[in-house]
Each structure stands twice: as C-alpha cells, then as structure tokens.
Amino acid sequence: MTEAELSLEKLLFNLSTLAELGEEITSPKDFTRVVKSALYMVMGSFSSSKGAIFQFDGDRGSFEPIASKGLGDIGGVRLKIGANATGELVKYKEPLDLSSNAYPVTLLGTAREELRKLDARMLSCLTVKDELLGFIAINGKFSGEPFTQYDHQLLSVMSQHISFSLHSHSLLMKLMHKYTENKNLYDNLRRIYYDTIHAFAAAIDAKDSYTRGHSHRVSAYSAVLAREMGWNNDEVEGIRIAGLLHDIGKIAVDKTIINKASPLTSYECRELNSHPVIGYEILSKIKFPWKGIPMMTRNHHEKVDGSGYPDRLKKGDIPIGARIMALVDAFDAMTTDRPYRPRLSFKEAMDEVKDNWNKQFDPDVVYPFISVIKKEVRREVDNPTIVPLLQEQLDSVTLNRFFEGFPRA
C-alpha cells in the first residue's frame, strides 16, 4: 500500500470508528458497557495498550476510573484537581501531551504523577459546555510512533462523543437521585398521614373499652367487602380510611354515654346519635385524596328502608360506601361484647342480618359479604380478614346451613 493509499484507508477506518462510537453511545446498552466499548475504540484507534476513562465524582470531589484496560485493578486511583485548575483545563479542547512539562499540563498538579504511574501519555478532557466531566488517558502507541496533529484532532472528536454519553448518564443519575429523594419524602409524608389517621382511630376506640379495635375491624371489613364488589385499589383505600374514621364524631360525645350499660335516655340517645354529623363536620374540612369519606361517615347509620339517621335516606340515596359500612359496623358491633350484652355468635349475627335484610341492610351489600365469608372459610383467599377475627371456628357445611334460609338474590 502506498502512503496515499494508507492515508485514505486510515481516514476510512477512523470515520468508521467514529460512526461506531456514535452508535455505541446512543445505544440503550448498560452504561458501564458503553464506556468500556468507547475506551476500547479509542485505544484501538491509537493502538494503545493501556487506557482509562475517569469521571468526576461530586461526592468525593475527585475523578474516579469508570473503565480501564491494560492497567490491572486501578479502582483505588483518584485524580484530585483543584477547582481553579479544573476551570482552566476545561478551556483546552486539544488533548494534553503528558510528556510535556509546560502549561497547561502543569495544571494537573498531583494528578499528573498519578497519571504517569499509569503510563499515560495523552490526556483528553471530557467536557460539556463549561463543565469538566472527566478524562480519557491513554499510553503511547504500540507502534512507538508519535502522536500527530491528526491524532490529536481524532482524539478530540472521540472525546466529544464520549462527553455527551457521560453528560447524559450524569443527568439521568441526577434525575434518578431526585426521583428517589422525592419518593422517600412522599413515602414519609404518606406514613405520617396514615400514622395520624391510625392515631385518630385509636383515640376514638379508647373512649370505649368495649369497642377497642372496632375502627380497625370496620376499616378492614369494609375494604375486603368493597374489593369483593369490584372497587378499584384507590376506592378500596378510600373506604379503608373511612372505616378508620367513621366514629370520629364520638370524640365529642360524653364517655359515660358511650360506656353506659343501662338503656339510654332520649337526651343521651340524641347525643350518641349526633356522632355521624359531628364526624362529617370534622372530616368535611379535610381535603382527602379519596372521594366520599365525609359522606360515608355521615351516613353509616342510615337504613335502606329510610328509618336510619341522621338524614333518613332510603337505599338509592345512601352512598354505597355508607351502605357497606352500615353492614360491617353493625356486624362487628354484634360479634363483639358490649356494655349492655355479651357478643352474639356468628349464626345469631347473621340471623339479625337476615331479619333486617332489605330493611336495615342493603341486599346488594349483604350478598357479597356472605360471598367473602364463604371464600374465607373455604380458604379460597390468601389473606382472610373477617373469619380470623370472629373468635369461633366456622366450616363450610355449617356455613351453608346458616345461609340456607337467606332470601335469594
């Protein structure tokens, strides 16, 4: 091959390498692999046997190796360069010949010694705008030939390509960092929010030693029933919160009335029955991320025949969430001890539900409730919620007998 032919071949080879480098740095491959490939392309172009790419690590304030070849383990090598020197170096678009003792190589300070230990001969800055992102360092050519002006230009262009890759990756990492930071903040806020709601629920239940855990059970039962009725995750979460807070109005009711074992006077009855409205007034001032919580609280003592309180609404006018809560609230009240009577058995409670079918309780809610209980008894669900809290053993045969007399859907 003549000199002219060799030059042309070399030009074509380098153009081809640049095209491949462009393709590599825009590929969706893993960043480590991209950087490694880019380094190998640079080294292959200059027949270098040793090379490394360094990237600035803001936390450590130094340039750390992110890819290397022919240098063994250089994980511990760090290039420390002062801020002023960095500001000057970024101006030099041409690669630096490290065999020189002249400016700007002198800007490298102690890093120059580290680079010499790595046998580095050429150093190219990786910059985007005025930011020094890193360096490429390579040793002399395998052939022993000197680096020409043409080589300097080629290394400079390859460095620009690699700079964009580093810059994009760095932006992505910053974005990921911000995302994680925001997510953690959001998770913390969410935890505080839930903790606060749980604290309210505990405060409500604390007023009545008999109803300890009542709000949590109503919450859990409502959620599982809503899910059975096909509600989506967001809606289920809403009724779960409503269940925790449905009795919040009791905070304003005298404790002696709540805990009274003997029949209530009409005044005491009015006081106790005021709790859904008080609860509504408290909760309607809060902007919940879920819909309907204040109204579910207000209407959880309504009955489908219109004989409930406070608004004496009939079936279709009662929010469906309130109809769910009306059933599970009564069911939990029946299956737990009260100051005025011991708890009812499951069968007795379901007999009450049957007796009040389509009067107090909505059949559209009762049937899915029965369905959930059947599934839990048959162990068709992974995490049973209602049956484990009933304090009695249920089996399929007995259960079917319980439900035999129920009106058909």
Partner 1 sequence: MVKRYNNFKEVGDTVVLYPDNYINDIEGEKLEELCTSYLERGFKKVVIDFSETDLINSIGVSVLIGMIEKVRDRKGNILFSGLKQVNYDVFSIVGLTKHIMIFETEEDAIGGNEKAAGAVTTA
Give the binding site for partner 1 (CB under 8 A).
1, 6, 9-10, 13, 16-17, 20, 33, 36-37, 40-49, 69-70, 141-143, 145
393: left (phi over 0), alpha (psi -120 to 50) or beta: beta
Pull the structure tokens for residue 289. Answer: 């991320």
Q: Which is nearer to partner 1, 71 or 236 (CB)?
A: 71
Q: Which is nearer to partner 1, 42 or 372 (CB)?
A: 42
Write down the least CB distance from residue 71 to partner 1, Å.
11
Closest CA to 376 of 355, 393, 401: 393
Pull the structure tokens for residue 76. Answer: 């511990």
Write down the least CB distance from residue 378 to partner 1, Å.
55
Q: Which is nearer to partner 1, 41 or 242 (CB)?
A: 41
Q: Which is nearer to partner 1, 6 or 172 (CB)?
A: 6
Pull the structure tokens for residue 66. Answer: 């992110």
Helix and strand numbers (H, E) in the chain are 15, 5
C-alpha span between 386 and 104 (Å, rounded): 76
Write down the least CB distance from residue 25 to partner 1, Å.
14
Pull the structure tokens for residue 248. Answer: 């919040």
- Three-class SS of 30-65: CHHHHHHHHHHHHHHHCCECCEEEEEEECCCCEEEE
Q: Which is nearer to partner 1, 21 or 304 (CB)?
A: 21
Helix (H, G, I), strand (E, B) or coil at 221: helix
Maximum separation of any 2 CA atoms in the chain, in Å: 115
CB 37 within 8 A of CB 173: no
Q: Which is nearer to partner 1, 48 or 127 (CB)?
A: 48
Write down the least CB distance from residue 160 to partner 1, Å.
17
Q: For residue 176, which phi and psi values (nearest 5 degrees)?
A: -60, -40
C-alpha span between 82 and 286 (Å, rounded): 54
Write down the least CB distance from residue 156 to partner 1, Å.
16
Write down the least CB distance from residue 52 to partner 1, Å.
13
Q: Which is nearer to partner 1, 8 or 192 (CB)?
A: 8
Beta bridge partners of 137: 52, 123
Pull the structure tokens for residue 185. Answer: 């903040």
Q: Per-residue b/e over 148-171, b at no fewer than 16 CB within 10 Å?
A: eeebbebbeebbebbbebbbebbe
Q: Name the pairing type of β-strands 62-69 and 51-57.
A: antiparallel
Write down the least CB distance from residue 70 to partner 1, Å.
6
Write down the least CB distance from residue 135 to partner 1, Å.
18
Q: Which is nearer to partner 1, 21 or 328 (CB)?
A: 21
Q: Which is nearer to partner 1, 142 or 193 (CB)?
A: 142
Write down the least CB distance from residue 41 to partner 1, Å.
5
Q: Which amino acid is at 22?
A: G
